[in-house]
Amino acid sequence: MAWHKFRAGQKIPVDEVVDVCEKHIRSGKVGNPKEKLKRLELIRNCDHQFIVYSPTGSTWDNSPMNQNCWRTLDGEPICEPQVVSKT
């Protein structure tokens, strides 16, 4: 069962994304939490009030904690796309 209820294409307030992800990171069920919190800061600091969940593959490529899974309402990346380690 997924730890979040986001659906592909769903428009979500950035604050809600950050809250859900932060709770999951702090649950102790996430590997490498310090790295995930760093990634979450990229989402938190984006210049948009709403973002669109846009998963691109499987595992980390679908994770709401991966800033590359989020787009602006215009379909652009919320920040400069980054290569993300799968660890």
Flag whether 1 is in a domain.
Answer: no
Average pLDDT over residues 13-34: 95
Using one digit for the tens of pLDDT, what is the confidence trace for 7-23? 999 999 999 999 999 99
**pLDDT(82) > 70:** no
Q: Which residues of 12-35 are buried (b: 16+ CB within 10 A; e: fewer)?
A: bebeebbebbeebbeeeebeebee
Flag whether 76 is in a domain.
Answer: no
Number of structural domains in the chain: 1
Average pLDDT over residues 32-46: 94
Flag whether 6 is in a domain.
Answer: no
Band (1; pLDDT cuts 50, 70, 90): low
Residue span of the structural domain in which 51 resides: 11-71
Flag whether 44 is in a domain.
Answer: yes
Cβ atoms 70, 20 nearer than 8 A = no
Q: Which of 53, 49, 47 is nearest to 21 (CA)?
A: 53
At residue 11, the 3 state secondary structure works out as strand
Band (56; pLDDT cuts 50, 70, 90): confident
**pLDDT(80) > 90:** no
Per DSSP (E only), the strands in 9-76 are 11-13, 50-53, 70-71
